[in-house]
Structure 1
Amino acid sequence: MAGDPIPHLRAALAARDVGASSDFDLNPAVVLPENRVLRPAAVLVAIQHGPDGAQVILTKRASHLRHHPGQIAFPGGGQDPQDKDCVATALREAREEIGLPEGYVDILGCLPPHETVTGFQVTPVLAQVTGDFTPRAEPGEVAEVFCAPLSHVTDPTRFRIERRIWQGTWRNFYIVPWGPYYIWGATARILRGLADRMDRCRP
């Protein structure tokens, strides 16, 4: 992805033909109860300029966590009562998990919400990191902080569909591997949604 990706990301955010996503998108036989109550959450899809171009900040979750242990994820988590909105949640979680100061973040906008198998409605907050900072992994939640090239994780051809047994049935899901990192589940699905948006408004 040559040049500044921010205008392209802004155009992708404005696209109206890609709606909400779910961990169940590739599993049409699953019937979800209409009266289910989802817990609000948010993640920060933080884009920063690296030595080889734009990159996305990701984390590897600690292995002892209750939800998604050891998985690759964006900085983020459940909404706290003091959070005024999903943007506040994403910024707070990024500050706590990777030490990203709020003053170093320019919010571009929010992607459609994503429903997870663990009962969260996650709002992805797309943002640009505008200042230099050294990531600091919060040891209670984050095992590692790393970056993946934006051009890789927003290229639809890089995604594959795999499956595994979940609660006694086969579950299909997207993956977008990069180097030693197996990016899958909700993180890969959110990235796939962004990739589709960017592909549809590619200059």
Structure 2
Amino acid sequence: MRLLTAHTTLLLLLLCSIALVVVQGNTEKLIFRAKELDSAKLDCVHDEHYHNVQVLKPPYSTVQRVIVPRNAVAPTTTENTQHWYSLDELQIDSSYELRISYPATSPTDFYLKLYRACQDNSGSNRNKRLLLVEGDYAGVSNVPGMDLASITYDIVLENLYLGFLFYQVYKIAAAVAVVLLLGQFVILPKIRRVIQESVASNDLRKQL
């Protein structure tokens, strides 16, 4: 029973550490295989949409930007409500995850849609893939102008290995290893000592 209590405490600490590493607020994501994009019927866009846009490359790229969610009541400009990204150097046999993280205090529905570049005469855009990010305000607030407030978000493109292991999984593995080491050599010995002292104190009171 005493050993079970100690291990339960360690398990709770481990789960809390993983949660702190993983949770970053609200998240929207899109998982795809580069090979499937060739056969998919993606809409094409012309070069005016992807000149001087942010570039995302595997194995890991991240960008932080500010967007204004679309609002059904107040008009907003396309420049503020749409962000284009160029997905460069995708490997044909690899899987990828596109992920957007944003504060839970900013209720927004994000949409991620993949496109292909319309081919020009040279054919240089044949394998170019693009991403469009848009957001709709999804909250209800009595604060004036809250529905027009801009939102800071982080977008990530990273490789997926075996279809589910993301590129930076080593960070979680490192966090788990640190918690296990602390639990085994610091926390558990202290818990055992406290339990032993408590048992010894109870035994002494019974003898008296």
Range into which the TM-score falls when normalised by the shorter chain: under 0.3
TM-score by length of 1: 0.23
Of Structure 1 and Structure 2, the greater helix share is in: 2
TM-score by length of 2: 0.23
